[in-house]
Amino acid sequence: MIKSSKEKNIGLLLVIIIFIQGVGFLSGRLGMSNQNTYNDFVKPSFSPPGWIFPIVWGILYFLIALAFYRIIIKGKQGENINKSVIYFIIQLTLNFLWAIIFFRFKLYGFAFLELLILLVFILLSIFEFYKLDKIAAYLMIPYAIWVSFAGILNCAIWILNR
C-alpha cells in the first residue's frame, strides 16, 4: 500500500516531535546530577518552582517542533530552507548543551554566555522562519521569551551562588 502525502507528512511531524522532545529529555537527564540540583541553589525571589520546568519545556519543545515541521514542509514545496534549518539545528544543539554546562559542570557564567548565543540563534531562526512561514515564526516566540527569562534566572543564580 502506498502512503498518501498527508500520511507521510503526519509521520514526519511525529518524527520531528519525538526527536525534539527526545533532545530535551536527554539534555535534562545528562545535565542533572540529581533531582535536587535546582532546589539546592540560592535562587532569586522570581525563581519558579522546579516542577514547572519540565512542563514548560515540554510545551515549548512541542511548539518548536511544529515550527520546524512547517519549515520542512516549505522545503518539500521547493522553498530554500537551508539557512532556517542550519540556524534551527545550531540553536537546538546549544539548547541541548546548556543544561549540561549549567547543571552537570556547574559553569554558571559560561552557561550564561552560551545561553546568550542560544538566544541569538533562536532569534535568527525566527527571522528566517518568518520569511518562509509566519506561523512557524510565531510558534517560536514563546521559546524566545522563556529562554530570555532563563537567561535572567541563569545570571541571577550565577551571581547568588559564587
Rounded Cα–Cα distance for residues 156 and 158 (Å): 5
In this predicted structure, what is the pLDDT of residue 127?
Answer: 99
CATH code where residue 65 lies = 1.20.1260.100
- Cell matching residue 73: 514542509
Q: What is the pLDDT of residue 4?
A: 65
Q: Which of 79, 71, 58 is nearest to 13 (CA)?
A: 71
> What are φ and ψ of residue 10, in 5° steps?
-65, -40
Query: What pTM, to 2 d.p., does this model score?
Result: 0.92
User: Which pLDDT does position 1 carry in this prediction?
Assistant: 53
| Residue ranges making up the domain that contains 75 | 5-160
30 contacts: CB under 8 Å, gap ≥ 6: 99, 100, 104
Tell me what pLDDT residue 3 has: 62
pLDDT tens-digit profile, the chain (162 residues): 556 667 779 999 999 999 999 999 999 999 886 667 788 889 999 999 989 999 999 999 999 999 999 999 999 999 999 999 999 999 999 999 999 999 999 999 999 999 999 999 999 999 999 999 999 999 999 999 999 999 999 999 999 998
Number of folded domains that form the chain:
1
Q: Report pLDDT for 157.
A: 96
Cα–Cα distance measured from residue 18 to residue 93, given in angstroms and rounded to the nearest whole number: 16
Q: What is the model's pLDDT at position 38?
A: 83
